[in-house]
Structure 1
Amino acid sequence: MRETALTPGGFDESEMQQVLKRGCEAVGLDSSNARLLRGHTNAVVLLEKEQVVVKIARRGSSIDDVTRTATFVRWLMASDFPTAPLHPVDQPVIIDGHAITFWTYLPQPEEPIAAAQLAQPLHALHSLPTPPVALPNHDNFAAIRRSLAAITCLPRQSLLFLNELTERLESQLRAVQFTMPQGVIQGDPQHRNALHTSDGRAVLCDWDTVAVGQPEWDLITVEVHCRRFGHGQQHYDAFADAYGWDVTRWRGYRPLAVTRELQMITTNARKVRHAPWSLKEIERRVEGLRRQDEHLQWNIL
């Protein structure tokens, strides 16, 4: 039996279009001129006529998780925090068990957010008081192990190596003392998870990974993206100067950086069924970890 081709979010084309149409109708928006913006995880669609972005959570996503994220972002907005704003409708909207959120569209110039522009909103995030919504505790290794258990695209020896590396890193990080107090973290701050505003500021977006955890994780994420995706050392140095602390000088930098890279690799490997073209890059990254090649440039997936 031939498998139906999947579109962003794990939906087939006709189902995604129906969920989009019905979700927009529920809040009085016109979906007739929609354009896909992103789709490796969730289906993110721009309504051209409305200048609203619609995010359809990936098939199987928890409605409670999406509801919590929307509640958290409303709190950020009420606190005048630099976040991409929710569109002013009651949300999330639930269509056939799929959660949909709506966001004000922020037109973007060609140049992406620079790492240094992430520093101010991240510092503000890490300084927030306890929010009035219960956030999950950030757990790197639980996420990595869930992905490892679901990977079917890699050979046995690669999976054995990744599992052994996970055990080794977890043991190393137990002995590391974190410098910063726990608090709210974005979980995946990077150049593509922030947006320009019309007045030249940067705002954070994509809050699916928000949690309570160590701010060092957010800072490591920025450093890994600068190093692995060719932005360069100066790009990262400008971020560290603007934030006021350089995570690469911290004793726990190396094991946490490799943990971040491992999570990125295993997450993408788990999704290969929906993006088979990514397998070659994933295998290249795994081999780079095996060689302990800290400077191997990665291609964006």
Structure 2
Amino acid sequence: MPADAALLSLGENAVFAGGGLVAKVGRDAALLDRARHELRVAAWLAGHGVPAVRAAEPAPRVAEGRPVTLWHRLPDATGPAGPADLATLLRVIHALPEPDFALPPRDLLGGVERWLRLAGDAIDPADAAYLRQRRDAFAAEAAALTPHLPRGPIHGDALPRNVHLGPSGPVLVDLETFSGDLREHDLVVLALSKDRYGLPADAYDTFVRVYGWDVREWEGCGVLRGARETASCAWVAQHAPAGAAARAEFARRVASLREGDAAVRWYPF
């Protein structure tokens, strides 16, 4: 990467762009297997001609104990991706056959412990214990769900922010959570975005129309929603040591969960 590479985002990974490449640097060594998985998925999607980000190297590097993956930089976006772009790509993904390697189940709650550990003393231990209890309860309920759609390949974090809208149309990015599981996982995300993050009702309706089905009609929707809310709250916790904004957002989220208030607005972090 060039010395003047620019930081694009900071979350599970620090993402830098320079020249024709993008580098994703994981927070810690525990993400190495996840990086390997993402590269394998990228190669599989390329083989099926799916419009998705393409890897520049077939295996991750390791720098100071952190996994680093390199990707071909996409053309500049022509505008923000919307729910229709996401739904179009999900229809393609959900029609794919199983790959010739094992896709893991969508371990939606698997990161909770690590995120809480990274939060450390920056959050109330009682809040951490509460999220662990929610994690365990929703994990058990999710395992018992009867799906409406056939199981198969899913993106796992199906949000418009994980779609790049370029000159040739929408392109799927951030493939780390690609899984083999309930297709409903990919659809609950936008339903939650409508309720928690201010996605307009007409935008959600467009998503449903393009995809062809509304996951809210499924009796298991509330379980997957609750599991995702738990994970999303714990995800913010890892940022709490870095500043007051993350601590305030974490407090807002965990309080709304404790109070059972599904209408409290959450803000992207």
**TM superposition score normalised by structure 2:** 0.88
Shift, 1:220, TM fit = 0.6
Structure 2 residue 172 is matched with structure 1 residue 204? yes
Q: Quick check: 2:37–2:176 contact (8 Å CA) kept in 1?
A: no
1:125 counterpart letter in structure 2: I
Change in Cα spacing, 1:143 to 1:63, as seen in structure 2 (3 Å) is: closer
Counterpart of 1:39 in structure 2 is: 10
1:106 counterpart letter in structure 2: L
Q: Secondary structure at the match of 1:227?
A: helix
Find the aligned partners of 2:243 and 2:194 in 1 and give their Cα distance: 24
Shift, 1:42, TM fit = 0.8
> Paired residue for 1:296, among 260, 264, 267?
264
Shift, 1:157, TM fit = 3.6
The residue correspondences of 1:93-132 to structure 2 (distance < 5 A) are 93-109=61-77, 111-132=79-100
Shift, 1:167, TM fit = 4.2
Q: Secondary structure at the match of 2:30?
A: coil
Q: Quick check: 1:92–1:100 contact (8 Å CA) kept in 2?
A: yes
> Paired residue for 2:163, among 179, 194, 202?
194
Counterpart of 2:253 in structure 1 is: 285
> Paired residue for 1:224, among 165, 180, 192?
192
The residue correspondences of 1:158-173 to structure 2 (distance < 5 A) are 158-173=127-142
Change in Cα spacing, 1:236 to 1:213, as seen in structure 2 (3 Å) is: same
Counterpart of 1:137 in structure 2 is: 105
Counterpart of 1:84 in structure 2 is: 53
Change in Cα spacing, 1:236 to 1:274, as seen in structure 2 (3 Å) is: same
Q: Which runs of 4+ in 1 moved over 6 A?
A: none
Counterpart of 1:27 in structure 2 is: none
Counterpart of 2:214 in structure 1 is: 246
Q: Quick check: 2:119–2:241 contact (8 Å CA) kept in 1?
A: no
* Structure with more contact order per residue of length (Cα contacts < 8 Å, sep ≥ 6): 2
Alpha-carbon deviations, 1:236-286, whole Å to 9, x = none?
Answer: 111111111100111111121121111111122134234553011110011
Find the aligned partners of 2:236 and 2:15 in 1 and give their Cα distance: 18
Q: Secondary structure at the match of 1:61?
A: helix
Shift, 1:103, TM fit = 1.8
Aligned length: 268
Cα-Cα RMSD: 2.3
Find the aligned partners of 2:248 and 2:65 in 1 and give their Cα distance: 34
Gaps of 5+ in 1: 1-23, 25-30
1:206 counterpart letter in structure 2: D
Shift, 1:123, TM fit = 1.7
Overall identity of the aligned pairs, in %? 28
Find the aligned partners of 1:42 and 1:151 in 2 and give their Cα distance: 16
Q: Quick check: 1:106–1:196 contact (8 Å CA) kept in 2?
A: no
Find the aligned partners of 2:203 and 2:16 in 1 and give their Cα distance: 30
